[in-house]
Amino acid sequence: MESAVNNGCCPEHGAPGGSNCRAVGPHKVPGDSPLAWFAGMVGHCKAHALAARAAGRPIVGIMCEYAPRELIFAAGAVPVCLCGGDPDTIPSAEAHLPTNLCSLIKSTYGYLVEKANPFLEMADLVVAETTCDGKKKMFELMAEARATYVLALPHREDDPDGLRSWVEELRRFKVFLENRYGVAITPERLREAIELMNRERRLRRELAELMKMEDPPLTGRQLLDFKSIISGLPDDLDQYERALALWRPRERSGSATHDARGQSPECATARQQPVRVLLTGVPLVHGAERVIEIIEANGGLVVCQENCTGLKPILEDVRADAPDLIRALGEKYYHLSCSVRTPNRKRLALLAQLATEYRAECVIELIWHACLTYAIESFHVRRLVENELGLPYLKIETDYSPADSARIATRVAALVETVRARTAAQHKWLSGVG
CB of 66 or CB of 240, closer to ligand SF4? 66
Residue 13 Cβ, how far from ligand SF4 at the closest point, in Å?
A: 37
Question: Which x/- pattern, by CB under 6 A, does the window 20-59 give for ligand SF4?
Answer: ----------------------------------------
Residue 105 Cβ, how far from ligand SF4 at the closest point, in Å?
A: 5
DSSP-assigned beta bridge partners for residue 127:
62, 149
Number of residues forming the site for ligand SF4 (CB under 6 A): 20
Output the CA angle 231-237-239, nearest 5 degrees: 125
Q: Which residues contact 4 (CB under 8 A, 6 or more apart)?
A: 20, 22, 25, 26, 219, 221, 293, 296, 297
- Looking only at residues 242 through 281 of this chain, which bind ligand SF4 when binding is defined by CB under 6 A? none
CB of 37 or CB of 66, closer to ligand SF4? 66
Instruction: Mark the segment that binds ligand SF4 (CB under 6 A) among 18-26, 39-47, 353-361, 368-376.
Output: 368-376
CB of 104 or CB of 314, closer to ligand SF4? 104
- Of 90, 196, 336, 355, the one binding ligand SF4 (CB under 6 A) is 336
- Looking only at residues 122 through 181 of this chain, which bind ligand SF4 when binding is defined by CB under 6 A? 131-132, 134-135
CB of 7 or CB of 373, closer to ligand SF4? 373
CB of 81 or CB of 210, closer to ligand SF4? 81
- Of 18, 217, 283, 310, the one binding ligand SF4 (CB under 6 A) is 283
Instruction: Give the separation between CA 410 and CA 395, rounded to whole angstroms.
Output: 13
Residue 103 Cβ, how far from ligand SF4 at the closest point, in Å?
A: 8
Output the CA angle 376-382-387, nearest 5 degrees: 140
- Looking only at residues 369 through 428 of this chain, which bind ligand SF4 when binding is defined by CB under 6 A? 371, 373-374
Contact status, residue 60 vs residue 79, Cβ threshold 8 Å: yes
- Of 72, 190, 203, 338, the one binding ligand SF4 (CB under 6 A) is 338
Of 382, 208, 206, residue with least CA distance to 304:
208
Contact status, residue 123 vs residue 359, Cβ threshold 8 Å: no
Q: Which residues contact 29 (CB under 8 A, 6 or more apart)?
A: 35, 36, 39
- Of 41, 104, 197, 302, the one binding ligand SF4 (CB under 6 A) is 104
CB of 135 or CB of 395, closer to ligand SF4? 135
Instruction: Mark the segment that binds ligand SF4 (CB under 6 A) among 97-105, 167-175, 179-187, 357-365.
Output: 97-105
66 binds ligand SF4 per the rule CB under 6 A: yes
- Looking only at residues 291 through 310 of this chain, which bind ligand SF4 when binding is defined by CB under 6 A? 308
Residues that bind ligand SF4 (CB under 6 A): 64-66, 102, 104-105, 131-132, 134-135, 282-283, 308, 336, 338, 340, 368, 371, 373-374
